[in-house]
Each structure stands twice: as C-alpha cells, then as structure tokens.
Amino acid sequence: MSYKIAVIPGDGIGPEIISQGLKVLDKVGQMYGHTFEYNTLLAGGCAIDATGEPLPNETIQVCKKSDAVILGAVGGPKWDTLPGNMRPEQALLGLRGQLGLFANLRPAVIYKELIDACPLKPEIVGDSIDIMVVRELTGGIYFGERGRRLGIKGQEAYDTEAYSVGEVERIAKIAFEIARKRNKRVTSIDKANILESSRLWREVVTDISSNYPDVTLDHLYVDNAAMQLIRAPRQFDVIVTSNMFGDILSDEASMITGSIGMLPSASLGENSFGLYEPIHGSAPDIAGQDKANPIATVLSIAMFLRYTLNLEREAQTVENAVNRVLEEGYRTGDIMSPGKTLVGTNKMGELITEKLSKI
C-alpha cells in the first residue's frame, strides 16, 4: 500500500527527531511492503521566518490531502515577543481546528528498563504503569467565547467552557473503543459537583457506556483524579476528559514516567485521520547538538501505524525495537543512568532501525 504523509519538522530539535522517525518508518515499509510519500511543510517559528505567519495556507491544504501528519515541535524563545495570534504555538491550534482533530491520545508508559526514573516510590509503581489519556481537543474553554469587559472592580477577562452532546459522544466512543483493546476500564474525569458543562459531560459519557457493557466505567472529580494519579496510578487504564483537564492531567501522567522524551501522542479526527507528535517540545537549547531523544517520535510513528493505518503488527514491530534497544542498555542523555551506554540522536535512530524485525 502507498500512503501520503504531511511532514512538519518545525523548530528546535524537530528536524533531528523527525529524520530518525522517518528512518524507522521507511524500514518498516521495506519490511512489510508499504510505500510512504512525504511532503515536507512549514509550521511554527520557521514558518513565521519564511512566510510571516505560523501556519501557511499551503500547509493546511497539503495536510488535508494526506493520510496523516507527522509533526516535530514548534516554538522557541526567538519568537516569544510576538503577539499571541502570531506565536508559533498558534500553528498547533490552527492545525487541530482546520483538520478537525478532536481527540488527543497521550499514553503514559513506564518501561521496565527505565523504572528507576519514575519519581514515585517503587511500591506505588510496581512493575510498570500504562495509562492512556484521551483528551477532548477542539472544544471547551480553549475554544469558547472569550474577551475582556468592564466589571464592578475594573477590567476583567473571561473564558467560556461549553460542550455539546455531540462533542462528548464522539470523544467518549473513542475512549471506550481504546479500552476494549486494553484492560476494559474507563475513568471519566470532570467537575460535575460545580460545573454545568461537567454535569452534561458525565450524563453523556454514562449514556455512551451502555453501548459498551464489557467496559467498566467510573467517574472522578478532577481534583481527586490529580491526587489519585500520584497516590495510586496503577488503578487507571483509559482516562477520558475535557480539553483543559486533559491538558493538565496528561502532563502530570507523563511526568510520572520520568522522562517526557519517551512519550508520543496522537490527535485524531474523523475516519482515522491523525496528527502524530512527541510531547516534549522544541528544546532549542540542545538543537543541532545530537543530544535529543528521538524515541518519543519513533513511538509516535508506531501510533500512526496503529491508529490511522490499522497496522497493528507493524506498530508492535516498532515498539519491540525500542524495547530491545533499551534492554541492551543504550540511552540518550535525558534517560542516562550509571552503567548504560550514552548515544546521540542519530545513533539511537540507527539502533532502533537495526533492531526492527518482523513479528
């Protein structure tokens, strides 16, 4: 099969890690008979420098004609003084909105070989942690009505949280479908004791759960969920929550793993279209130094194979290769520990590519 992929290397370490991810993807294609056609596009700070805007229309149009988007990272201090609507990060919001990417999948996984990097006590972590956070991505307070107005104590600012039944239904269905392929547990997180939008959220998720009798559903208030992620993270399988709550809790879950350099993400739309990116950002302080960890990008490639192309065997092939490299003791600087072998970005990509083998 042949697939068209929009590639957005972006800023900072983005081009370095993307090149390693595509190296792995090309090898998978050779092994299993797939062809990947890449269109390299601008977005973020590099797009501002080249075109004067963070998300050129050409980028949007090519992405819409592709099977998926693979993104490196955007942003950096070079563009920090620009007005909000011209910041590199606006490219991310624009891509999500223009491409209809309403579901963000953020796995938080502790690999056995890296368990010492977890900041929690061993008795809390056990052998491993494997949580999938499913975050609604195009609704809620980040996309609601906002502005400033004159209040009784002077100027005030407001942001509006709103969710429709349809928005909640579609994100809930994705969470339940993912849970069916995992441990069949969904935890829906809201603030239904205070917020009307959360009360609707809870009602709709509960209704959808009736279509998944094989999946257990429970509900937590967001403040309790934040505590439970630290106190007993192994109780969670799939978490589904709103845009703002998911933004915060997915970062908390990722830090439990010990290194954000290891964690991928997927943002999905209708018909399995997706944007795949590591969560760690552009890290401009180490850009061009062969220090960046490409594993999160490689694992994002695995998510692309699984969720957009439905190629489970190929996805597992990539994940197994990452495991083999870690088992053999190779580490980039961010996950380095005594007795292990330090390697750079390029070498890590080469090692993972070499360890790919059919399953």
Q: Could you list the active site residues?
A: 142, 191, 223, 247, 251
Rounded Cα distance, 145 and 134, in Å: 24
Angle, CA 138 vertex, CA 137 and CA 140 arms, to 5°: 90
User: Distance between alpha carbon 341 and the CA centroid of its chain, in Å?
Assistant: 28
**41 CB contacts (<8 Å, ≥6 apart)?**
6, 7, 8, 56, 58, 59, 62, 63
**339 CB contacts (<8 Å, ≥6 apart)?**
329
Provide the CB-side half-sphere exposure for 28 (13 A, CA).
30
> 14-32 vs 295-303: helix axis angle to the nearest 10?
50
Dig out the tokens for 354 from the structure: 């070499």
Dig out the tokens for 261 from the structure: 């350099």
Rounded Cα distance, 113 and 99, in Å: 37
